[in-house]
Chains A and B, each alone.
Chain A
Amino acid sequence: MDNLQQLTAGSRVLLSGNEAIALGAFHAGLKVATAYPGTPSTEILETLVKFDGIYGEWSTNEKVAVEVAMGASYAGVRCLSAMKHVGLNVAADALLSASGTGVKGGLVIVSADDPGMHSSQNEQDNRHYAKLAKIPVVEPYDSQSAYDFIRLAFEISEHYDTPVLFRTTTRVSHSKSVVCTKEPFKKIDENPQFVFDPEKFVMLPAYARKRHVVVEERINKLKEYAESCVLNEVIEGDKNLGIITSGISFQYVREVFPNASILRLGMTYPLPEKLIREFSTGVKKTIVIEELDPFVEDIVKSMGIEVSGKSFIPITGELSPEIVASCACQAGLLEWEKKEGTVSEISLPQRPPSLCSGCPHRGLFYTLARHPRRRKKMTSSSSNQISGGLVITGDIGCYTLGAYPPLLGLDTCACMGAGIGHAVGMEKAGVDDKLLAIIGDSTFMHSGMTGLANAVYNKSRITVVILDNMTTAMTGHQGHPGTGVTASGKESIPVDLEEVVRGLGVQKVKVIDAFDVKTLGNEVKNAIESEQLSVLIVRGECPTAKSCLNTSYAVDTNECTRCNACFRLACPAIQHRGEEVYIDPGLCVGGICGLCAQVCPVGAISIPGKGVAE
Chain B
Amino acid sequence: MQNTSVLMTGIGGQGIILASDILADTALRMCWDVKKTDAIGMAQRGGSVVSHIRMGKTIYSPLISEGGADILLGMEKLEAARSHRFLITGGKVLINKYCSPPLSSSGNEVAYPGDDAILSLFEQQGAEVFFIDGLEKVEKLGNTRTLNIFLLGALSVLLPFSREAWEESIRSKLPFKIIDINLEAFSLGREAVENAGIS
| Contacts from A to B (Cβ < 8 Å) | 1-2, 12-14, 118-119, 142, 171, 174-178, 251-252, 254-255, 320-322, 338-339, 341-344, 346-357, 398, 401, 406, 473-474, 476, 544, 567, 570, 572, 574-576, 584, 586-587
Q: Which 9 A-B pairs have the closest CB atoms?
A: A339-B67, A353-B43, A351-B102, A175-B37, A353-B42, A349-B105, A175-B62, A349-B110, A254-B60
Q: How far is the CA of A406 from the CA of B46 in the complex (A)?
A: 17
Partner of B47, one of A2, A353, A473: A353
Complex interface bits, B44-65 against A, C-beta within 8 A gives 1, otherwise 0: 1111100000000001111101
Q: How far is the CA of A1 from the CA of B173 in the complex (A)?
A: 6
With A343-B84, A356-B46 already in contact, the answer to whether A178 and B78 are too (CB < 8 A) is: no
With A354-B46, A572-B103 already in contact, the answer to whether A343 and B109 are too (CB < 8 A) is: no
B70 contacts partner chain A, Cβ-Cβ < 8 Å: no
What residues on B are CB-neighbors of A320 within 8 Å?
Answer: 61, 63, 65
Q: By the criterion CB–CB under 8 Å, are A177 and B35 in contact?
A: yes
Query: 19 A-B contacts, Cβ less than 8 Å apart?
Result: A1-B173, A2-B172, A14-B36, A175-B35, A175-B62, A176-B21, A176-B24, A178-B34, A339-B66, A339-B68, A341-B66, A343-B125, A346-B117, A350-B110, A351-B46, A353-B42, A476-B44, A572-B106, A576-B108
Give the interface centre of B38, B42, B104, B121 by most chain A CB atoms within 10 Å.
B42
What residues on B are CB-neighbors of A355 within 8 Å?
Answer: 43
Closest chain B CB from A585 CB (angstroms): 11
Give the number of A-B contacts (CB < 8 Å).
155
Closest chain B CB from A112 CB (angstroms): 14
What residues on A are CB-neighbors of B105 within 8 Å?
Answer: 349
Q: A251-B60, A339-B89, A575-B101 provided; 8 other pairs, C-beta below 8 A? A: A171-B62, A320-B63, A322-B65, A349-B109, A351-B102, A352-B102, A354-B103, A474-B42
Q: How far is the CA of A301 from the CA of B113 in the complex (A)?
A: 52
What residues on B are CB-neighbors of A398 within 8 Å?
Answer: 44
B163 contacts partner chain A, Cβ-Cβ < 8 Å: no
What residues on B are CB-neighbors of A344 within 8 Å?
Answer: 124
Closest chain B CB from A413 CB (angstroms): 13
Q: By the criterion CB–CB under 8 Å, are A544 and B45 in contact?
A: yes
Closest chain A CB from B146 CB (angstroms): 14
Closest chain A CB from B167 CB (angstroms): 16
Q: By the criterion CB–CB under 8 Å, are A343 and B60 in contact?
A: no
- Determine the residue in chain A with the shortest Cβ distance to B173: A1
With A174-B38, A175-B36, A348-B81 already in contact, the answer to whether A255 and B101 are too (CB < 8 A) is: no
Closest chain B CB from A442 CB (angstroms): 15
